[in-house]
Chains A and B, each alone.
Chain A
Amino acid sequence: MRSIPTGPRPKHLTIGRIGLYCFIFVCAIFFLMPLYVMIITSLKDMDEIRAANILNLPKELSFYSWPKAWSQACTGFVCEGLKPGFFNSVKITVPSVIVSVGLSALNGYALAFWRFKGAYLFFGLCLFGAFIPYQVMVYPLLKIEDALGIYSTLPGIILVHTIFGMPILTLIFRNFYASLPIDLFKAARIDGGNFIKIFLYVIIPMSAPITIVAVILQVTGIWNDFLLGLVFAGRDNQPMTVQLNNIVQVDYGVAEYNVDMSATILTSLVPLFVYFISGRWFVRGIAAGAIKG
């Protein structure tokens, strides 16, 4: 029966739609399956794990692997679990994020509004810097830090993270600021602002969306980093990822899969948490011109 078109258009379930939903469903399964396995394995005891029914739910819930991973599992010769690694990671991440985001915002602002001679060349170098693989720089940086006497120290690893974060962050901030109306900046100059005052009172209050994007990128990047933490942090400041590796890579004794799984989940909790509380802002920040050049 045909009805007269009026009001909202009726919704039809087309073949394309069904295909799309199937695809989304498969994707979701693909990404959720490992997480499911990790969680249920961490809740089994070793006997059940040895029974090798990897997808089965635990017959009996056992939580002992979680506190063990947190404070008793052995990382090399010490058996204090991931706890020291967690606090090391916090000590590395917080200052690195603050310093790199702050400096990059200032850089991006200078590049977008105070077009000095050679600004374009500098911008090009930044772009280039954002794509250089870390490995190339590790050895020279190590020698430099050694000469400065900060190799294997907390300031040493913070400096490294700041250096590696700045090209891409500067790029992001510059592009965001370039999308702001230039008249605002002109008005602020006439109103008597200087370089720093305009940045503090006019630009920073408008930077919330892009700052959140930058913070998310940096927190997850630095928290998940393994290579730089291993090379530059030194024994006393090993981040959580390095300790996780030490727990999982046992050379002797029995591999305790449930503890490994708990430890892995614990390590990934911080980036997950960051995504969940700020996902909305992340999308908004990207929409605000963060990525488009």
Chain B
Amino acid sequence: MATLTEAPPPLTPTAPEKKPPRKRGRLVPYWLLLPGILWLLVFFALPMIYQASTSVQTGSLEEGYKVTWHFATYWDALSEYYPQFLRSVLYAGSATILCLILGYPLAYLIAFRAGRWKNLIMILVIAPFFTSFLIRTLAWKTILADGGPVVGALNTLHVLDVTSWLGMTSGDRVLATPLAVVCGLTYNFLPFMVLPLYTSLERIDGRLHEAAGDLYAKPITTFRKVTFPLSMPGVVSGTLLTFIPAAGDYVNADLLGSTDTRMVGNVIQTQFLRILDYPTAAALSFILMAAILVMVTVYIRRSGTEDLV
């Protein structure tokens, strides 16, 4: 305890004490980032650089590859495999739209109407993840098997006539057609759509629905003018989480499709693992990455989600 008679401490500290106090907390953010940055450096940045250099190499497997800055590989790869690129975008896009159509009502139900069933339905949405991706896709092979009950039912209902006419199936088969690949993609990526949609719907204040109703909006108008615009962040992240991996996927096209349904992922896989044409495979990977980046950027700009709360 200081007494009143004590002399006040000098206001200006003496020279050696003038060193600015060390801000102990200043480095903490960097320390926290370190493990992640190291991980990304070793397992993302370095392989990327390696792949980039591979893509501009020439040579053969026997003589070895050398960096010759052969950018023509990109052009050759694109001009040879553009149908697979377009197919990837088309299939992934269709699967994304299907996921949105199937996932939105489901997410809406879980967020607003499920009551005590909420957790159970959530578990059911996530449950397929307990089985491997491969097994699940193989299961679809059985489901869509020729002459199986699903194909039989679709045939009886003349659904296959319509999809045949649209060029999505051929004859009375579903397996080995574009429809099978899109179905597989939709099934495998549906949870990636439902979860972000649910999160953003669940965050909407229920009183906003009441307020809209109070201001003469019919339920459908409330959805159109309030609920849907407010769920846009979920729609955007859900479509991205579905579209991006679906565009690069090759398992569905491999297991459920045919040679006519090859996507760019299949081409890359074949080039890397069977033909062993590493430069072409690397170039294709970079083209796919760039294409997705451009599409995603345009999409996010267009949807204007940064303006949303």
Q: Do A and B bind each other?
A: no
Chain B contacts to A: CB under 8 angstroms: none
